[in-house]
């Protein structure tokens, strides 16, 4: 077979042929040593081949999803907002705008794999969850062999920040509770996935990140109650109580979490809210300097520099004004609606994972539009799955309504 024919045959497989490389990329959030390594894996294993494999039919299929349409509008608007930033330079703007292509290709490949190769996608989910558990164990061993139990767990991986890592791991825990455990056949397999879930829950507790902890507790309880999984809810509560008891018995200091207060969040939000009020309609653009300084609580201590608004919704309004916030709210509403439809059909996992991300975005995070980073996992991953399900459902309805013969 000639090279041209081989290339044509490979392209005919479509972007859904990238299930393995997509899996490597998603697992890399927990196992790769740095953000740079994660970016390189994405560029080499997903972006480059997808540029060849994505076809016009794939884009038309995706365009049938309202969730996809609104996502494209929001991302395009945020990229254009850089044009009216005070700090605008063409080089900086192109550097930000190319993230639109990165994110669009990621969502396209994700949607195609999820909708067109469901068996492969199930394996992707399992491997990624196991990678999250392995990353949790590895990080705990590396930290606590020298540090006391009172130390907050930082992940040794591409996403190392305690808050962000706990959000990613919380999303994986939702997949364990609402997809992998219910689908497991036999007590041993179910017990194995519950053990994985307890490992993830322990990692979230050890990070000391309060918003992810609260988000996971609320979403787990809500999901189990909606699914009428009363026995599993009881087991999860008992397991969590035993785990917390073991940590406290081992000397874990919970007073440190109380002493942190709101971690300067209220002061940060007030300063950025003031800037939003000054530019409510167009915002400051995505190239704006989104750092600020807040007074330290220590006596005589210098002011602290905060690098971003620590609230995705506030940050989106800062960059693109009220129109950007309205687009984000519309996107979230459509995603929640699609997730609720899946939950009504017995698949609450992606709705719960999305809810964990949305709650954590209230107290951390900034840019929706960026090169590969944590928000690609805890927000754009469930959004990508939900838009894939919507596009597939619309495609089936269109086929059923089409002419016969």
> Mutual orientation of helices 349-360 and 210-226 as an angle, nearest 10°?
150
Q: Other C-beta atoms within 10 Å of 225: how many?
A: 11
Residue 250 has pLDDT above 80, yes or no: no
Q: Rounded to 5 degrees, what angle do the CA atoms 403, 66, 333 make?
A: 140
Q: Minimum mean pLDDT among 63-77, 82-96, 162-176, 391-405: which range?
A: 391-405
Q: What share of the chain in percent tops pLDDT 90?
A: 59
Helix axes 210-226, 162-175, angle to 10 degrees: 10
pLDDT for 244 beyond 70: no
Residue 400 has a pLDDT of 45
Cβ atoms within 10 Å, residue 216: 29
Render pLDDT for 55-108 as a digit per residue (tens, 0 to 9): 999 999 999 899 999 999 999 999 999 999 988 898 999 988 999 999 999 999
What b/e string do you get for 132-156 counting C-beta neighbours within 10 Å, with b at 16 or more? Answer: bbebbeebbeebeeeeeeeebbbbb
Are residues 37 and 128 in contact, defined by beta-carbon separation less than 8 angstroms?
Answer: no
Angle at 296 between CA 158 and CA 210, to 5 degrees: 45
Residue 68 Rama label (left phi>0; alpha psi -120 to 50; beta): alpha
Give me the pLDDT at residue 385, please: 97
Residue 293 backbone dihedrals phi, psi, to 5 degrees: -120, 140
Q: Where are the domains of the chain?
A: 3-396
Q: What are phi and psi of 292, to 5 degrees?
A: -155, 165
Q: Which two tokens stand for residue 377?
A: 């996992």
Q: Comparing 373 with 404, which gets the higher pLDDT?
A: 373
According to the model, what pLDDT value does residue 137 have? 95
- Dig out the tokens for 290 from the structure: 């989104």
CA distance 193 to 199: 10
In degrees, to the nearest 5, what angle opens at C-alpha 251 toward C-alphas 133 and 146? 60
Euclidean distance between CA atoms 137 and 244, whole angstroms = 17
Mean pLDDT for the stretch of residues 140-145: 91
The most confident of 13-27, 65-79, 214-228, 251-265, by mean pLDDT: 65-79
Compute the distance between CA of residue 131 and CA of residue 277 in angstroms, rounded to an integer: 43
Report how many helices (DSSP H) and strands (DSSP E) the chain contains, helices first. Answer: 19, 2
């Amino acid at each position: 077979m000639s090279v041209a024919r081989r290339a044509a045959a490979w392209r005919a497989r479509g972007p859904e042929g990238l299930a393995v490389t997509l899996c490597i990329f998603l697992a890399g959030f927990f196992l790769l040593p740095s953000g740079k390594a994660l970016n390189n894996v994405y560029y080499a294993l997903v972006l480059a081949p997808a540029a060849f494999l994505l076809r016009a039919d794939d884009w038309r299929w995706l365009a049938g999803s309202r969730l996809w349409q609104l996502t494209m509008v929001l991302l395009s608007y945020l990229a254009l907002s850089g044009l009216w930033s005070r700090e605008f330079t063409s080089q900086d703007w192109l550097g930000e705008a190319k993230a639109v292509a990165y994110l669009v290709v990621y969502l396209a490949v994700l949607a195609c794999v999820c909708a067109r190769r469901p068996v492969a996608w199930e394996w992707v989910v399992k491997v990624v969850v196991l990678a999250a558990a392995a990353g949790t164990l590895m990080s705990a061993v590396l930290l606590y062999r020298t540090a006391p139990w009172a130390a907050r767990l930082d992940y040794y991986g591409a996403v190392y920040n305690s808050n962000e890592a706990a959000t990613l791991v919380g999303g994986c825990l939702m997949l364990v509770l609402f997809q992998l455990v219910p689908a497991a056949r036999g007590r041993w397999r179910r017990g194995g996935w519950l053990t994985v879930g307890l490992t993830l829950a322990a990692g979230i507790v050890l990070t000391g990140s309060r918003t992810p902890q609260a988000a996971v507790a609320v979403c787990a309880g809500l999901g189990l109650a909606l699914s009428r999984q009363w026995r599993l809810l009881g087991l999860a509560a008992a397991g969590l109580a035993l785990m917390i008891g073991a940590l406290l018995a081992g000397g874990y200091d919970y007073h440190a979490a109380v002493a942190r207060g709101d971690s300067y969040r209220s002061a940060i939000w007030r300063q950025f809210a003031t800037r939003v009020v000054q530019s409510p309609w167009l915002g400051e653009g995505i190239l704006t300097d989104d750092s600020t300084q807040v007074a330290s609580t220590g006596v005589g201590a210098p002011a602290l520099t905060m690098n971003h608004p620590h609230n995705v919704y506030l940050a989106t309004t800062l960059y693109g004004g009220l129109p950007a916030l309205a687009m984000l709210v519309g996107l979230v509403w459509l995603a929640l609606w699609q997730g609720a439809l899946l939950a009504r059909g017995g698949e609450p996992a992606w709705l719960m994972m999305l809810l964990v991300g949305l709650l954590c975005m209230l107290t951390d995070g900034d840019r929706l539009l960026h090169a590969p980073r944590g928000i690609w996992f805890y927000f754009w991953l469930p959004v990508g799955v939900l838009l894939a399900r919507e596009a597939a459902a619309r495609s089936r309805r269109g086929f059923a309504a089409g002419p016969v013969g």
